[in-house]
Amino acid sequence: METTKQHKNILITGGATGIGAAAARLFAANGWQVAVADINDEAGEALAAAIGHDCIYLHADTRCRAELDAAVEAACGRFGGLGALFANAGIHRRNTLLGVSDEEFDLVVKTNIYGTVNTLRAAVPAIAKSGGGAVVINASEQVFAGKPGNFAYGLTKGALGQLTRTAAIELAPMHVRVNAVCPSTVHTPLVDSLFERVAAAGGPSKEELWAEEDALFLRGSAGTPDEVARMVLFLADDAQSAFCNGANYLVDGGYTAS
Ligand SMILES: NC(=O)c1ccc[n+]([C@@H]2O[C@H](COP(=O)([O-])OP(=O)(O)OC[C@H]3O[C@@H](n4cnc5c(N)ncnc54)[C@H](O)[C@@H]3O)[C@@H](O)[C@H]2O)c1
């Protein structure tokens, strides 16, 4: 079996907050160099400064291929190659098939599907040129289960589950593995702002919504960013997960089992 010596550096999109930021801290703590790309420049700069020398922040909107190409080039320039990608940037909007506006549907598709595809198209050639490595996509437990009020989001995450399979097949000859992490609800700013929008529209308070959400899980609480980041580190590291390829890995506290 042919093995490659993977560069221990990673580009993390949407890495300024939430799961991406937890991953940035965990990879750096495990000796990886980390490039965080995001549109939240203030949070991204602060995170990179807190992590220190092994982390750089790069502004890149995943809806813009030129910004992603520049981020990949900057990361490779700084680290001398690229060994892994965490395609993590994404947004959530609560909506239904019959109720969603064209504008909102477009925004979610552009960010979650086009953004992820753009990210792979920018970063994979650099990983292949560096001798191979791994891509981890942040999908969702909605690859496996439907959820009310999640029309556009669920559709885009289902698409990422399929992208994981087809990209793994296409990129295997380049020694690039592709897997997805599929979390259920995690305590992050993404869900906080979702619940704030529901509360502002006259629904239950954010605290009531979190209590309902936490009760959905076998242990009585939703996930933490660190719990997802640990799966990402495993899947990104050829030394840990060389036989994992083209698969969607649940980190869901038993949500889809119950
Ligand atoms: N929190 C959850 O419950 C949960 C569950 C399953 C999957 N996810 C997925 O995890 C990923 C990270 O979300 P999170 O929960 O950590 O939320 P988050 O809002 O804390 O993180 C998302 C990050 O992506 C960035 N971002 C948004 N649009 C971007 C764009 N166009 N270009 C570059 N960066 C952009 C944001 O600025 C933010 O820093 C998302 O793809 C989300 O769908 C989250």
> What are 51-102's pLDDT values in tens digits?
998 999 999 999 999 999 999 999 999 999 999 999 999 999 999 999 999 9
Q: What is the pLDDT of residue 53?
A: 85
Asked if 100 and 151 count as a contact pair (C-beta separation under 8 A), the reply is yes
Task: Give percent of the chain with pLDDT exceeding 90.
Answer: 97
Residue 3 has pLDDT above 80, yes or no: no
Q: What is the mean pLDDT of residues 171-199?
A: 95
18: pLDDT strictly greater than 80: yes
Angle among Cα 233, 58, 93 to the nearest 5 degrees reads: 70
Range list of β-strands (E), the chain: 9-13, 33-38, 55-59, 84-87, 133-138, 176-183, 248-251
Which of 141-145, 170-174, 197-201 bottoms out in mean pLDDT, i.e. has the lowest?
A: 197-201
Class of the CATH domain delimited by 9-185+225-250: alpha beta
* 216 backbone dihedrals φ, ψ, rounded to 5°: -75, -15
Is 255 tagged catalytic?
no
The predicted structure's pLDDT at residue 170: 98
Sheet with 84-87, strands from edge to edge, namely 55-59, 33-38, 9-13, 84-87, 133-138, 176-183, 248-251
Is 70 exceeded by the pLDDT of residue 134? yes
**From the CB of 138, is ligand 1 less than 6 Å away?**
yes
CA distance 61 to 50: 22
Average pLDDT for residues 142-163, to the nearest whole number? 97
Residue burial 192-219, b: 16+ Cβ < 10 Å; e: rest: eebbeebeeeeeeebeebbeebeebbee
Q: At 216, which amino acid appears?
A: L
Angstrom distance (rounded) from CA 25 to CA 29: 6
How much of the chain, in percent, has pLDDT values that exceed 70?
A: 98
Torsion from C-alpha of 215, 218, 223, 228, nearest 10 degrees: -160
In sequence order, the 6+-apart residues with CB closer than 8 A to the CB of 131 are 4, 5, 6, 7, 81, 175
Residue 159 Cα to ligand 1 midpoint, Å, equals: 16
The whole-angstrom separation of Cα 113 and Cα 108 is 8
pLDDT tens-digit series, residues 218-255: 999 999 999 999 999 999 999 999 999 999 999 999 99
Catalytic residue among 57, 114, 153, 249: 153
61 ligand 1 Cβ < 6 A: yes
Ligand 1 within 6 A of CB of 150:
no
For ligand 1, mutation pick of 85, 182, 188 (most atoms within 8 Å of CB): 188
State whether residue 137 is helix, strand or coil: strand
What is the rounded average pLDDT of the residues 111-136?
A: 98
* CA 173 to centroid of ligand 1, rounded, Å: 30
State whether residue 195 is helix, strand or coil: helix
Task: Give the DSSP letter string of 241-255.
Answer: HTT--S-EEEESTTG
With 90 as the cut, is the pLDDT of residue 4 above it? Answer: no
- Hey, where are the domains in the chain? 9-185+225-250, 187-222
- Does residue 18 line the site of ligand 1, with CB under 6 A? yes
The pLDDT-based confidence of 34 (bands split at 50, 70, 90) is very high
